[in-house]
């Protein structure tokens, strides 16, 4: 029984160190990305990050507007859906 408690204590300790290290690394990475301009801190992220789902027939195209005014288009769909996607983006003044 004492052996099982010792093993359990070691597992809990290793897990705790792992979690603490992971949090530290993520914290450092976040601030590195923020300093480089890839992340903009916002008190109300819902007002500054916008995600649009565009119907392209056999699925959706995803258009993301980031807080730093950059945009991302994910999966514009089949060639036939190109006009619909371009039209959608033009209506929102996306170049």
pLDDT (tens digit per residue) in 31-40: 777 777 776 6
55 and 80 assigned to the same domain: yes
**Domain match, 34 and 49 both:** no
Q: How many domains does the chain have?
A: 2
Give dist(CA 73, CA 57) in Å, integer.
Answer: 16
What pTM did the predictor assign?
0.48
Helix (H) or strand (E) holding 74, with range, is strand 71-74
Cβ-proximal residues to 48 (8 Å cutoff; 6+ apart), any chain: 40, 42, 67
Q: Which domain holds residue 78?
A: 45-91
- Residue 43 confidence class, pLDDT cut points 50, 70, 90: low
């Amino acid at each position: 029984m004492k052996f099982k408690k010792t093993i359990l204590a070691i597992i809990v300790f290793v897990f705790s160190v792992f979690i603490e290290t992971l949090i530290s690394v993520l914290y450092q990475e976040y601030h590195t990305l923020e300093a480089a301009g890839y992340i903009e801190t916002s008190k109300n992220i819902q007002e500054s990050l916008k995600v649009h789902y565009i119907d392209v027939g056999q699925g959706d195209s995803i258009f993301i507007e980031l807080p730093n005014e950059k945009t991302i288009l994910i999966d514009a769909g089949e060639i036939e859906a190109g006009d619909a996607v371009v039209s959608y983006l033009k209506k929102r003044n996306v170049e």
